[in-house]
Amino acid sequence: MPNVQAHDLRCAGRVVARYVWDPQLPATVSPRPYLHPVTTLAGTTVTGFMPADHLHHLGVSIAVPVLNEANFWGGRTYVTGHGPTHLDNHGRQQHDRWLHRSGDRVEQELRWTGHDGVPLARERRTLTVHQLTDHAWMLRVEFALSSATGTPLTIDSPALRGRAGAGYGGFFWRAPAGPEPVHAFGQRAGGDVHGSRDPWIVLSGGRPGRTAWTLLFLASSPEADPWFVRSDDYAGVCSAIAWDRRLVVAAGEVFTRRLRVVIADGPPDPATIAAAAEAWS
């Protein structure tokens, strides 16, 4: 495999995330920067990368199924009346320049280009890590999208093209595949979190007492996008920016989202949830 360009993010004296900012990947996965592996403070990996069930799932990334008809998610494109279809429309997110790069924070500018290499969008992205408790740390994510062409950006999802419940697109975290079940629940919706707008939701998995892990996703504020959640066929969470209506970013405007994710060892802990909520507020 060709060499990739990556930057390690550290917390509590150890590497907790590898940010691959110049990936060397096939066009069909819509190449984009990603975080993998991401680990707990004890070293348990909590991301999945190019799993057999979805080769285009790249750990933690910013991915959208359709932006101005270009696929920045990877895999097939959902076509109204035909379903998932292989199209030659895969885009690429390319690093332009660093605005900041240190052990606990990176800030960069990127170009989103179509399959023909023409820039469609510009992005400013910031990733920050800090320790929350002795067994948990927090990842802060912020991204801002704007048009690179002087025309609007239009983002939609398979749900808007006829595939019910498939409103994914935006910040996406693919959890690791494994034999142990993964559980999902939220603050208000209990176990029915798919499509909810809960302030936070939890994914938990691993082996109790050994490699158990918890991911706590805190909604951006005040937008509170719906959550796209999978925990049965695979485990993943997306803060869905085009869940039930197209997102249009007018020329000259900037679309911004901010999220927080707590990565903890062990099963869900009310004290960790409380500490995360306090830090977020």
For residue 272, give the DSSP letter: H
In a domain, 221, yes or no: yes
Report whether 237 contacts 215 (CB < 8 A).
yes
Residue 190 in any domain: the answer is no
Q: Which two tokens stand for residue 117?
A: 């290499």
SS (H, E, C) 195-244: CCCCCEEEEEECCCCCCCEEEEEECCCCCCCCEEEECCCCCEEEEECCCC
Residue 221 has a pLDDT of 62
Buried/exposed code over 182-209 (b: 16+ C-beta within 10 A; e: otherwise): bebbbbebeeebbbbebbbbbbbbbeee
Residue 188 belongs to some domain of the structure: no
CATH number for position 271: 2.70.98
pLDDT over 90, % of the chain: 85
pLDDT on residue 269: 85
pLDDT reported for residue 80: 94
Which domain covers residue 72, as residue numbers? 5-179+205-227+239-280
pLDDT at 1: 45
> Is residue 198 included in any domain, yes or no?
no
Question: How far apart, in Å, are the Cα atoms of 63 and each of 10, 43, 93, 223?
Answer: 24, 26, 9, 18
The confidence score (pLDDT) of residue 192 equals: 86
Domain count along the chain = 1
All residue ranges of the chain with pLDDT < 70 are 1-2, 189-190, 221-223, 280-281
In a domain, 234, yes or no: no
Residue 147 belongs to a domain: yes
106 found inside a domain? yes
Q: Which residues face 125 on adjacent strands?
A: 108, 143
Residue 118: inside a domain: yes
pTM: 0.96
- Residues 207, 158: contact at Cβ < 8 Å? no
pLDDT in tens, 123-157: 999 999 999 999 999 999 999 999 999 999 999 99
Q: pLDDT by residue (tens digit) across 194-242?
A: 999 999 999 999 988 789 999 999 987 656 899 999 998 899 999 999 9
The encoded tokens of residue 54 equal 């979805």
Q: What pLDDT is recorded for position 178? A: 82
User: Under a CB-based contact definition with an 8 Å cutoff, are residues 179 and 188 in contact?
Assistant: no
Element (H, E) at 40: none
